[in-house]
Amino acid sequence: MSDIELLLQAAVTARAALFDEPHRAAFRLFNGFLEGCPDLVIDLYGRTALIHNYAKPAAAGEPLVTAAHGFLQEHFAWLEAVVVKTRHSGQAEEKNGRLLMGTKPDHWISEFEVRYAVDMLMNRDASFYLDTRNLRRWLLDRCAGQTVLNTFAYTGSLGVAAQAAGAKQVIQTDLNKKFLNVAKTSYTLNGFPIDKKNFVTGDFWSVTKRFNREKMLFDTVILDPPFFSKTAKGRVDLAQNVVRLVNKLRPLVRHNGRIVVINNALFVSGSAYIEALQALCHDGYVSLEESIPIGEDFVGYPETRRGELVTDVVPFNHTTKIAVLRISHKGR
């Protein structure tokens, strides 16, 4: 076996418990950043394998892609499609993905018996964030009977998990209607009714201002913003203004409710993130309740890990840092 094949074999062996017999599960099969080959990452989405070529220049990663493709074909006879996304390509189509094998990639996956729509060729990512699996489990366990607001919803997987838990109402909001349409497809896959007023297309700053004006209140609010974005209404910068984002949402949370805050900024350390969150706690009406770890398929297993993260993420275990804040209000 070649060096990359040995690494892939070790990764597959470590993840044996994640494979399901219908082959509808989704997880990171190989995280080259932490498992010995930073130019290569492989994800499984049902019966579709997604190969990420992170090499720069992109051509330097092509032998790795070829080797990975061959390994997948040899070891997983049930695969129906293979997609490759080339991060440093100059062509948008290569970044969004192209088929190496099969006629089309899977359009849905299953996680904790919930179905999620995916569109692996729609965007540079795969339309479904695998690293927030434990958060979806957390929502499934806690959102029955609740009202939930999912901001920066993207394709709505976190809101879908809350809906599957039996939430009383879930509002999903994002700037891009195309992404919210994927969330609606997930609802259809699970037999959930679609109420158009619960899918709100709009700018975060404008939507939250309107909800506040209408005195809407939620038991759980999810804040999963991009690292950086800017509109005419405001700017999101996870390295600088996470406190402002949380404060924008606090009036929308019921007394003793929660805000789940996700910070996926690669170079924001765990201690810096905690320090920002603790600044919110000084007034006595916000408390840091818990953190939600990222799965081992992302952080690497003891027998496969061969690298370190680019920044110190302690007390979290990955650069995707998930914290749960408990919110209270005066006079309650």
Range(s) within the chain of domains with CATH label 3.30.750.80: 3-106
What distance in Å separates the CA atoms of residue 11 and residue 37, rounded to the nearest whole number? Answer: 12
What distance in Å separates the CA atoms of residue 129 and residue 166, rounded to the nearest whole number? Answer: 22
- Geometric angle at alpha carbon 249, from 264 and 183, rounded to 5°: 60
Asked if the 130-327 domain carries CATH number 3.40.50.150, the reply is yes
- Specify the pLDDT at position 227: 74
- Specify the pLDDT at position 332: 61
- Specify the pLDDT at position 217: 98
* Other beta carbons less than 10 A from residue 189's beta carbon: 17
- Geometric angle at alpha carbon 280, from 275 and 285, rounded to 5°: 140
The answer to whether the pTM exceeds 0.85 is: yes
Q: Which of 185, 327, 108, 147 is nearest to 139 (CA)?
A: 147
Task: Return the amino acid letter for 242.
Answer: V
- Specify the pLDDT at position 141: 98
- Specify the pLDDT at position 331: 65
**Per-residue model confidence as pLDDT tens for the chain (332 residues):** 799 999 999 999 999 999 999 999 999 999 999 999 999 999 999 999 999 999 999 999 999 999 999 999 999 999 999 999 999 999 999 999 999 999 999 999 999 999 999 999 998 899 999 999 999 999 999 999 999 999 999 999 999 999 999 999 999 999 999 999 999 999 999 999 999 999 999 999 999 999 999 999 999 999 999 877 777 777 877 777 888 999 999 999 999 999 999 999 999 999 999 999 999 999 899 999 999 999 999 999 999 999 899 999 999 999 999 999 999 998 66
Q: What is the DSSP string of 131-180?
A: GGHHHHHHHHHH-TT-EEEEET-TT-HHHHHHHHTT-SEEEEEES-HHHH
**Is cis: bond before 251, omega within 30 of 0?**
no
User: Which CATH architecture best describes the domain 3-106?
Assistant: 2-Layer Sandwich (3.30)
- Specify the pLDDT at position 117: 98
* 90 Cβ neighbours under 8 A, 6+ residues apart: none
Q: Which of 200, 82, 112, 209 is nearest to 150 (CA)?
A: 200
Q: Tokens at residue 108, please?
A: 């849905």
